[in-house]
Structure formats: C-alpha cells, structure tokens
Amino acid sequence: MSMPSLHARALRYLSRRDHSRAELMRKLAPYGTDEEIGVLLDRMGELSLQSDARMAENWVRSNNGRFGRARLQYELAQRGLARELIEEALTNGGMADELERARAIWQSRYSAAPIDAREWTRQSRFLLARGFAAEVVRAVLHGKPEHVVDESP
C-alpha cells in the first residue's frame, strides 16, 4: 500500500474539522518539507479549502456554550491563530452575553446556589476553569442580575 500524498493527508485532516494553518503545518511536518507544505497550504487557502478565519469562527460558534471568553482566546491561540483573527471571531461569533453564558453553564452543572464557603469555592473554580472572569463568577454565584463585566481583554 502506498503512502498518501501530502495533499491527500491535508484533505483528510480538513474533512474531519477545520484546522488552522499552524495546526496543518505541525501535522504535515513529518511528511514533507516546510516549503512543500507552505506551497500546499497557500494553494488550499486560494481554493478556500483552508481558512484561519473560518476555523476561528466555527470553533467559537461550537464552543461558546461551554467556555468563557478567556478560555476561548487561549484555545484559539494554542491553535496558532493571530490575535486579530481571534478578536474578530469572538466579536462576530454570535456569542451571547458573558454573564448569560456563565449562568447557563453554571445551571447545567449545579442545581442550587452554594450554601457554604467550600461549595462556593468549588463552584467558582468550575467557572474560572471554563474561562470566565472573576467578576462574572461573583455575579453568577451571588445572583446579581446586573451585567458587571467589561468583555474586552
């Protein structure tokens, strides 16, 4: 059985999910030179088979119900996306209000507000690990209705 071509490998990766250019470079590195991979990815970009902007928007859209803004930014940066693309995706990604998302995620996990300091700490750690700002976590756990968070980084 022959080895799949570089192009076939790239298409196989992209058929599963959108990948950033940096992710594809990393995954294809064992199978070709940087120059070959760069030329291939340039061509795939021209044909709209690979797009960092599309990847970022799709990723935000599919994960904004699970994570806060900080975690979304971190995950996209780990995928090798430029800061400008990340900000654009977060702005255009159809994200609901940060406080509303935090409340929805909290309610899906917990049925009641914390009754003691230990439970408050546990619930706040859950939300903080999901990438929500401390002000948002306090507002959710204290049941404050007003929006107290500036969503800028």
Give the other-Cβ count within 10 Å of 102's Cβ: 24
Q: What is the DSSP letter of 85?
A: H
Residue 113 domain flag: yes
Print the domain residue range for 22: 6-92
Give the rounded distance of the alpha carbon of 129 from its chain centre: 14
Residue 153 maps to a domain: no
Asked whether residue 147 is assigned to any structural domain, the reply reads no
Averaged pLDDT, 84-92: 91
d(CA 103, CA 136): 9
Express each pLDDT in 126-153 by its tens digit: 999 999 999 999 999 987 544 444 444 4
Cα separation, 149 vs 153, in Å, equals 11
Q: How far apart are CA 55 and CA 80, in angstroms?
A: 11
Do 35 and 84 have their domain in common? yes
Is there a single domain that holds both residue 124 and residue 65? no
Do 15 and 81 share a structural domain?
yes
Q: Where are any strands of DSSP class E within 20-91?
A: none
The identity of residue 23, as a single letter, is E
Instruction: Give the pLDDT of residue 1.
Output: 39
User: How do residues 19-51 score in pLDDT, each as one tens digit?
Assistant: 999 999 999 999 999 999 999 999 999 999 999
Does residue 68 lie within any of the structural domains? Answer: yes
Tell me, what's the pLDDT at 96? 65
Q: What is the mean pLDDT of the chain?
A: 88
Least-confidence region, from 15-19, 53-57, 109-113: 109-113
pTM over 0.85: no
